[in-house]
Chain A
Amino acid sequence: MVRIVHFREKCIGCNACVELAPDRWKMSRKDGKSILVDADERNGIYTALVGDDELKKNLTAARTCPTNIIKVEKVQRKS
């Protein structure tokens, strides 16, 4: 599986993650920052566990994020 972590507070709302991985990211019309879809929040940090098929697009999104607030890593499938 793939773990995506979003440190949302520093988002500047550039829309890059949405362009690159539209199934996993959307823009909030409330505060203009991006939203990691189906993520759990803890202390303002959002985490989502997704399938391996989403790895490539989200790695590109992480690499592209101008404020470097997206982390993407492969994790062992939960047994």
Chain B
Amino acid sequence: MSPAGSWEALSAALHAGADSIYFGVEQLNMRAKSSNNFTIDDLSKVAELCTQHNAKSYITLNTIMYDHDLQLMRSIVDAAKTNGITAVIASDHAVLMYAKKKGLEVHISTQTNITNIETIEFFSAFADVVVLSRELSLSQVSDIIREIKRRNLCGPSGELIRVEVFAHGALCMAVSGKCYLSLHTHFSSANRGACIQNCRRDYIVTDKNTGYELEIDNEYIMSAKDLCTIGFLDRIIDAGVEVLKIEGRGRSAEYVHTTTTCYRDAIRTIADGTYTQDKVDQWTKELSTVFNRGFWDGYYLGRTIGEWSSSEDSLATKRKVYLGKGLNYYEKPKIGYFQIESQSIAVGDEIIITGPTTGYVHTFVSELRVNDLVVQHASKGDCVTIPIDKIIRPSDSIYKLVENRSGNSQ
């Protein structure tokens, strides 16, 4: 299950082979502030795109809810049902109750912090899929799944409850969103999708008695590294987990494409018995090229509690530099036509193209022409043609990938 915080990311997830995607509309979701969310009017198009790619669509409606949110919540649930969205991801009881009444499938959000079998029994009256708390160890996950089978806990569909866990992406310093730092310092509630990520910064600690200040010198005390499970994904699948979720509705199309492709590939190799350490190393290298704060195993393997990131920014090994936009595509010779608006481009450059329909395309410049003349190099102001297999559209942006020495990529 891949995150879709924009049309570009949605398209990238579907092209990379995600079985399902999750997204938010309006303001009642956990990325209300950081993601370019969809609107209710977009629901039919999202559902249609997912159906075309044989993928399921899940709408997040998982903030805390106030009285004034209830009408909007009901409108979103109604619209999701009417437009054929597969299910709603919810944590507030008002949402569970209303979605059940309307016959819209419910998944219990990680915001609910499910950590034991009896809580699952409670939610089985509402949901067929539960997302477990991100702080459980793999053996706890495995015990819960075994117990679901032993107790024959079924959801409203009559099928056994299915378990979903987070496989990749950012973790919270607090138990899955139960954090009030952002609300406390900036009145910007994490539980309304407006976390300002205080935990990702560095701090000075003052001794109140003496006034001495201690700087936590680049060893951040709270900022967790990002979860990466690709090295022990076989064990997660062995535990009986049925849905692997990738975090990142605030992330770019290339992040969604790279993470989805790597995990898709890993799941395939586990199924056909060709999952090897060499492949894990290769996937980890690939995953390192897009936004990350360094990787760790999360809490699954029950090792040292808290692996803290030493950087506020991303440790991605590559960074994208904006070059320009798409102008046209000549289908027969498979040539893309671009306007270069910034920087320069040369033969051999590694480039990516993203757009709301195109999603994510990654390739190298094999040939470059300006005014139909072959050139090695073109700069700002030039219109260039580049051989590309995929269709290029005027809504596309072109970037080149360069080595990232200072971090800070998307």
Contact = CB atoms under 8 A, between A and B. Distances in A.
A-B interaction? yes
Contacts of A32: 26-28, 66, 68-69, 71-73
B369 interface: no
A50 to B, nearest CB: 22
Interface string B34-71: 00000000000000000000000000000000111111
B33 A12 contact: yes
B44 to A, nearest CB: 19
Interface in B158-198: 186-189, 192-194, 196
B32 interface: yes
Interface residues of B, number: 21
A27 B192 CA distance: 15
Contacts of B196: 66
A49 to B, nearest CB: 26
A12 B67 CA distance: 14
B192 to A, nearest CB: 5
Interface in A14-38: 14-16, 27-33
Contacts of A29: 67-68, 70-71
B27 A11 contact: yes
Interface size class of A (residues with CB under 8 A): 10 to 19
Interface in B18-34: 26-28, 32-33
B376 to A, nearest CB: 45
Contacts of A11: 27
B69 A66 contact: no
Residue among A12, A30, A33, A64 having the largest count of chain B Cβ atoms under 10 Å: A12
Interface string A42-79: 00000000000000000000001111000000000000
B27 A66 contact: no
Given A31-B26, A67-B194, 15 more contacts: A11-B27, A12-B27, A12-B194, A13-B28, A13-B66, A14-B192, A15-B66, A27-B66, A28-B68, A29-B68, A32-B71, A64-B187, A66-B186, A66-B188, A66-B192
Interface of A: 11-16, 27-33, 64-67
30 contacts: A12-B32, A12-B33, A12-B192, A13-B27, A13-B66, A13-B69, A13-B72, A14-B187, A14-B194, A15-B68, A16-B187, A28-B68, A29-B67, A29-B68, A30-B71, A31-B26, A31-B71, A32-B26, A32-B28, A32-B66, A32-B68, A32-B72, A64-B187, A65-B187, A66-B187, A66-B188, A66-B192, A66-B196, A67-B33, A67-B194
